[in-house]
Amino acid sequence: MKHDSRKYVILTFFILIGAIYVLKLFYMQVVDDHWKLRSQQITEQRREITPPRAIVYDRNGKMVISNNTHYNLMVCEAELEDFDIQAFSELIGWTQEQIRKRFVEIRDGEGTYKNPHTGQIDSNYQRIRSYPFIKELTANEMSKIAPHLDRFKGFYELETSMRSYPFGNAANILGYLNEVNKDDLSKYPFYKAGDYMGRSGIERYYDSYFRGQKGVKYIVQSARNNQIGSFENGAYDTTAVQAPPIHLGLDAELQGYGEQLMANKKGCIVAIEPSTGEILALISAPSYDPNLLVGRRNISENYPGLKSDKNTPLFPRPLASQYMPGSTFKLIQSLVGMQEGVITANTGFACNKNVVGCHNHPSAQNVAQAVQMSCNPYFYAVTRRIIQQKKRKNPREDAAIGLGKWADYMYRFGLGKKLDTDITGLTSGLIPTPKYYDKWYGHHQWKFSTIQSISIGQGEVQLTPLQLANLAAIMANRGWYYTPHFVKSIGDTGPLKKYTKKNYTSIDASHFDAVIEGMRRCVHEEGGTARRARVEGYTVCGKTGTIENYIGSVKQKNHSAFICFAPMKQPEIAISVFVENAGDSGGTWAAPIASLMIEKYLNGEVKDTIKEQRILDAKLSIWK
């Protein structure tokens, strides 16, 4: 009996000791913040080293994004000792009031949270953490401060890097960086306060590929929080590793030349290599120097002016503008008509101006002539046959079936949807469907005569310049395309896998010959609408578009558009050009701009200086 009592006493003792330990651990980990803060204080001796972002090169090995070394003056409030604010103000050139205000800004900038244990609103700011006190100091500025920092415990310099854009072009492609905010820090553990991440362009899309691998440096501090050396002589330190270089399909010289041609104009140019889908140039006009948005100081000074500019230089026109394609759309109508079997390459239609207006030319006897002369009545007749195939007795039901099939063809060309390009800010354009017209007119309350403007690329059809450049690439490839993309290779691994997959239209390759011949005649034969697109020594295949332009019901100056590829055999470049409010046909402004881009890309120089000077001198559609 005595032994049993002793057993229970011992058992009770151990249970009591265990309960005390559990309660103590609960108190230390949940209730008492002292130990949590102490743990964080220890981990603060582990300093992360962020590598510079990846360098970016164009297709010819020219550096288009580099890094410049800058410095942040960091501060850890817990390490401040006998802070002489007067002496510090003299060192950095600030007033004492500015210094006090900066400490308040840092604390307020961290925001607050509701403590789950106390129910109180607490600050996210922690005295034991380091924060940037002054950001983006140049080497010269830091050299005047750093030698004196030993007098101001708690302050130290931290090397960082900022982007540089040597060519000063392609702002809408490259994008810009901005400082991370609270939401970014919670979403992306890689970043810490004061870091920068991509906000637009490829800087945003490929942000995770640009970061590289962080390094770690462990430091030993004295009881007075003074750094006294590396822990274990750096045995546990790791080196920061910069991400591999990014190689673009972009041709930096072609991009810069295109921006010169589009000076004093509104519009865009998109150039694609048909065989790879790599974007050679993407000009949005007006544009701006990307160096204007490098760093916090430049952004605060320059961004408001760029945003308020009524010429909208921040707007990425090639990606986000939606235009009626005009007569460039006739290429697809020809192909769909032949694929559906409602016409052949040798089908002719009279140029009946009573049906739809047209300029004076002979009636087209075949598809090639219709494309060459851009005959409106011809494509009215072709599209009517596509939409109204007499599958139903009721012409309205019949039109719904035909339009649905027509829209499916358009989607296979990458129209009416966002191309999965490696950049943000794209729009889908608009390909009208039966549901679209049902919404406007009522179910089965419309037929072809209601929507006939789509036959010549007017009315509800809306496409982006990128989609039209891709259409030119599809024509060059006789029916297929790689999704247009900017990055040629990440390091030596090539592009993202999705950009190595061919996309096929549902048009037989044999149908392209007649349309391409018409595109050739459009540039090189009498009666063609794009004779200004000729390039000596090359056969250019193109199609003009003169696009009606309305604000509400008020007619504005026409847009000038042109798409093409060259050479005719083994094409190397496909282009779309839009000049907004040019007031003339596609052959007047867009076509010669495209020809100059082709000549520059294929020859490396432009010999037709008379044509070049005419474009450079032109001032079109710019608000003063």
Q: What was the pLDDT predicted at 297?
A: 83
- Whole-model pTM over 0.75: yes
Reading the block at residue 113, the tokens are 């949270």
Q: What was the pLDDT predicted at 41?
A: 44
Q: What was the pLDDT predicted at 227?
A: 54
Q: What was the pLDDT predicted at 282?
A: 98
Write the pLDDT tens digit of every residue in 369-418. Answer: 999 999 999 999 999 999 999 989 899 999 999 999 999 999 999 999 99
Q: What is the mean pLDDT of the chain?
A: 88
Write the pLDDT tens digit of every residue in 66-109. Answer: 998 888 898 998 889 889 999 999 999 999 999 999 999 888 88
Residue 364, SS3 per DSSP: strand
pLDDT-derived band at 237, boundaries 50, 70, 90: confident
Reading the block at residue 441, the tokens are 């007119």
Q: What was the pLDDT predicted at 42?
A: 45
Domains of the chain (ranges; CATH) run: 46-107+121-248 (3.90.1310.10), 252-617 (3.40.710.10)
Query: Please, which residues have CB within 8 angstroms of residue 614's CB and are 6 or more apart in sequence?
Result: 592
Separation of alpha carbons 470 and 473, rounded Å = 5
Q: What is the mean pLDDT of residues 292-318?
A: 90
Separation of alpha carbons 107 and 66, rounded Å = 33
Residue 38 pLDDT > 50? no
The residue among 121 and 420 whose pLDDT is bigger is 420
Q: What was the pLDDT predicted at 622?
A: 63
Which residue, 613, 561, 565, is CA-closest to 587? Answer: 561
Write the pLDDT tens digit of every residue in 575-619. Answer: 999 999 888 788 899 999 999 999 999 999 999 999 999 999 998
Residue 9 pLDDT > 80? no
Residue 437 pLDDT > 90? yes
Q: What is the mean pLDDT of residues 253-260?
A: 97
Q: What was the pLDDT predicted at 396?
A: 93
Q: Phi then psi for 209, rounded to 5 degrees? A: -80, -20
Q: Which residues, listed in sequence order, are joined to residue 72 by a DSSP beta bridge? A: 158
